[in-house]
């Protein structure tokens, strides 16, 4: 029986203003194309794999399919292209029905978009930069091999994946209510605009909720991680609120944006149970999701809840180590 692996490569590279304002690294589409080529090469570790690639309008997916190894059957998902995050969600919805594993090349945002519709299909998330929390910065060939092993069932998905948490966001305003979803972090920022999306200034951070916390991460999860460690697959999350000017609080060092080590004062933090709400009254601000400003709020109540219904993320190293243990790599 043939196995199908989905491939989502976000072509919207280079949108990070932190290249200008901070130390963000660069991953251009040529690098992504090469990484995708490595993924396809890695998939040839297993046999009888078909690959379906998310189409895009930029020509990146075309190149990936054109350059694919000749012994792989590589085609496109039949879907319209909108050149927005909607594409990742639509592709993932297709993969939810038709794929045995999916490989995502992008950042936290792309992984979140995929997570929204991917259901229980195992996800291999490869970071194409160094500024992400969820995806792993790892060689594409290695990741492709792991994806192939999980997709074919050579390594059972149940034993090789973790269930990542998410954060549910409900915004209630006079003009109506909005719900959005974050994967690793949701923040409330004191800034008027969505603007260039990135979180530029640590001083803007009012607080937030994270589904994972570790000082080894950049951004809000790293900030929370300075206070308490919370693994991505632990239920619940961590909520925190920074002290506003003049107020007292616990001083914490955090890597808030690439290239910036800041000291902030935490007025309150709380380890949250699954679905336990943590709220912010926002006279004027922006809700950020996975490091990107997403939603402008005026006189609103923002309620954040960690929820344990995120994507099943493939643990690449443990998949490969187990495969080696089972003799998979002996030719």
Task: Name residue, tokens 């997709």.
Answer: 151
Q: Does 200 bind another protein (CB under 8 A)?
A: yes
Name residues contacting another protein, limited to 259-278 (CB under 8 A): none
Q: Quick one: which segment of 129-137, 162-170, 239-247, 291-299 binds another protein (CB under 8 A)?
A: 291-299
Q: Which of 10, 3, 12, 71 is nearest to 36 (CA)?
A: 10
Q: Does 82 bind another protein (CB under 8 A)?
A: yes
Q: Smaller CB distance to another protein: residue 87 or 234?
A: 87
Q: Does 60 bind another protein (CB under 8 A)?
A: yes
Q: Does 17 bind another protein (CB under 8 A)?
A: yes
* The two structure tokens encoding residue 121: 């299909």
For the chain, how big is the Rg over CA atoms in Å? Answer: 20
Which residues sit opposite 289 in a β-bridge? 186, 292
Q: Quick one: which segment of 7-15, 37-45, 237-245, 250-258 binds another protein (CB under 8 A)?
A: 7-15
Which residues sit opposite 7 in a β-bridge? 53, 103
DSSP annotation string for 94-106: HHHHH-SEEEEEE
Please count the residues of this chain forming the interface with another protein, following the rule CB under 8 A.
Answer: 32
Axis crossing angle, helix 108-118 with helix 85-98, rounded to the nearest 10: 40
Residue 243 DSSP one-character state: P
Q: Does 2 bind another protein (CB under 8 A)?
A: no
Q: Quick one: which segment of 42-50, 191-199, 268-276, 323-331 binds another protein (CB under 8 A)?
A: 191-199
Residues that bind another protein (CB under 8 A): 11-17, 19-21, 26, 28-30, 57-60, 82, 173, 175, 192-197, 200, 284, 296, 298-299
């Amino acid at each position: 029986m043939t196995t199908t692996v989905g491939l989502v490569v976000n072509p919207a590279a280079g949108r990070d203003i932190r290249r200008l304002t901070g130390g963000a690294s660069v991953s251009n589409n040529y690098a992504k194309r090469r990484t995708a080529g490595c993924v396809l090469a890695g998939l040839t570790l297993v046999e009888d794999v078909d690959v379906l690639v998310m189409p895009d309008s930029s020509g990146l997916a075309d190149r990936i399919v054109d350059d694919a190894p000749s012994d792989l059957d590589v085609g496109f998902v039949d879907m319209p292209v909108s050149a927005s995050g909607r594409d990742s969600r639509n592709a993932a919805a297709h993969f939810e029905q038709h794929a045995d594993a999916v490989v995502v090349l992008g950042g936290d945002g792309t992984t979140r978009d995929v997570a929204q519709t991917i259901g229980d299909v195992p996800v291999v998330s490869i970071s194409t930069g160094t500024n992400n929390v969820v995806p792993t910065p790892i060689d594409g060939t290695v990741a492709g091999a792991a994806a192939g092993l999980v997709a074919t069932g050579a390594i059972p998905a149940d034993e090789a994946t973790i269930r990542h948490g998410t954060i549910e966001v409900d915004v209630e305003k006079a003009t109506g209510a909005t719900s959005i979803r974050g994967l690793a972090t949701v923040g409330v920022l004191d800034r008027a605009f969505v603007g260039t999306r990135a979180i530029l200034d640590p001083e803007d951070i009012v607080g937030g909720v994270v589904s994972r916390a570790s000082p080894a991460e950049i951004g809000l999860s790293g900030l929370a991680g300075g206070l308490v460690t919370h693994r991505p697959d632990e239920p619940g999350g961590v909520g925190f609120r920074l002290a506003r000017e003049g107020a007292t609080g616990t001083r914490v060092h955090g890597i808030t944006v690439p290239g910036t080590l800041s000291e902030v004062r935490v007025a309150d933090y709380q380890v949250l149970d699954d679905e336990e709400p943590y709220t912010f009254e926002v006279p004027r601000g922006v809700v950020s999701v996975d490091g990107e400003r997403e939603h402008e709020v005026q006189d609103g109540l923002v309620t954040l809840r960690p929820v344990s219904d995120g994507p099943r993320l493939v643990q690449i190293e443990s998949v490969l180590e187990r495969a080696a243990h089972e003799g998979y790599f002996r030719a």
